Amino acid sequence: MNIRRFLLVIPSIDIKDGKTVRVVQGIPELNCLEYGDDPVEMAKLWRAENAKMIHVVDFDGAFDHSNKNLKIVEKICSSVVIPVEFAGGIRTLDDAKAVMETGVARIAISTLVFEDRAEFEKIFNLYGPNKVIVCFDIIDEELIIRGKRKKTGLNYLDFAKEISLIGVERFIVTDIQRNGLLKGPNLEYSYNIAKQTNSKVTHSGGIRNKDELMDLQQYLEDGIDSVIVGRAFYENRFPCQKLWRVAESGIFN
């Protein structure tokens, strides 16, 4: 019997100063849109709307190496019965341990992979490829790190091939020039990484509507099996969202 597979759609909760925000192109100074004071309640809402996973980004951790939002992350993990994926500010093995203690299912690491490979490998060897994944933020085929502020001079595909050799099995791939702008996804980077490394890819950035989700569905067999959606969800760009909210509004009462 053939079992039909579906794209995993992952709502994103971006946290800054304890609030839910949406950061355009990943740069708070450029444009930071607030979407409520309580990230925990937002997580409950996405669960009520049948999310199967939540992606949490700690911008204070990413930019200031602060752990002030970890208590919020812990509350999110204890408030929903679905896996929570975390990204933002993991620079050391101790950082990774502190984040994992909140109850997250897996951690996504970016800067550390480029700046301290030995420390990254300590984390990777401790937790394994199911719990440690790598984020690629890309501008014009070049990898960007340090909260999307620093150019690496590295081609994204060359480095993906290199890092996959140590056992990395999943990448989150973001075209920064599309992220948070609702201009449609650039699938080229995600597709190339999936095909050239035989890894799984979570696409991020640019999704505007259900038609673009259906376009992504066609890449399941190529390795793009999931997508992170942020602003389009928060701005009700999917027709079914309001219906879900009416039908399930009392689920957490």
User: In the structure encoding, which two tokens stand for residue 85, read together?
Assistant: 């994926």
Asked if residue 139 belongs to a domain, the reply is yes
pLDDT of 155-165, one tens digit each?
Answer: 999 999 999 99
**Residue 251 included in any domain:** no
Residue 137 designated active-site: yes
Rounded to 5 degrees, φ, ψ at 34 are: -85, 140
Is residue 90 situated within a structural domain? yes
- Per residue in 52-96, pLDDT (tens digit) is 999 999 988 887 888 899 999 999 999 999 999 999 989 999 999
| Domain membership flag for residue 2 | no
CATH number, domain of 221, equals: 3.20.20.70
Domain contains 3 = no
Q: Is residue 252 part of a domain?
A: no
In a domain, 38, yes or no: yes
The pLDDT of residue 3 is above 70: no
Handedness of CA 57, 55, 175, 93 (dihedral sign): positive
How is the chain split among helix, strand and coil, in percent rounded to 5?
Answer: 40, 25, 35
Q: Confirm whether 14 is a catalytic residue.
A: yes
127-165 residue pLDDT tens: 999 999 999 999 999 999 875 667 888 999 999 999 999
Identify the pLDDT of residue 182. 61
Alpha-carbon distance of 95 to 115, in angstroms, equals 15
Whether residue 232 is contained in a domain is answered as yes
The one catalytic residue in 58, 137, 175, 225 is 137
How many domains in the chain?
1
The secondary element (H helix, E strand) that includes residue 226 is strand 224-229
Question: 208 or 150: which carries more pLDDT confidence?
Answer: 208
User: What is the residue range of 123's domain?
Assistant: 9-245
Confidence category of residue 239, pLDDT binned at 50, 70, 90: low
Q: Which of the following is catalytic: 14, 58, 95, 175?
A: 14
Q: Does residue 128 contact residue 101 with C-beta atoms inside 8 Å?
A: no
Q: What percent of the chain has pLDDT over 90?
A: 58
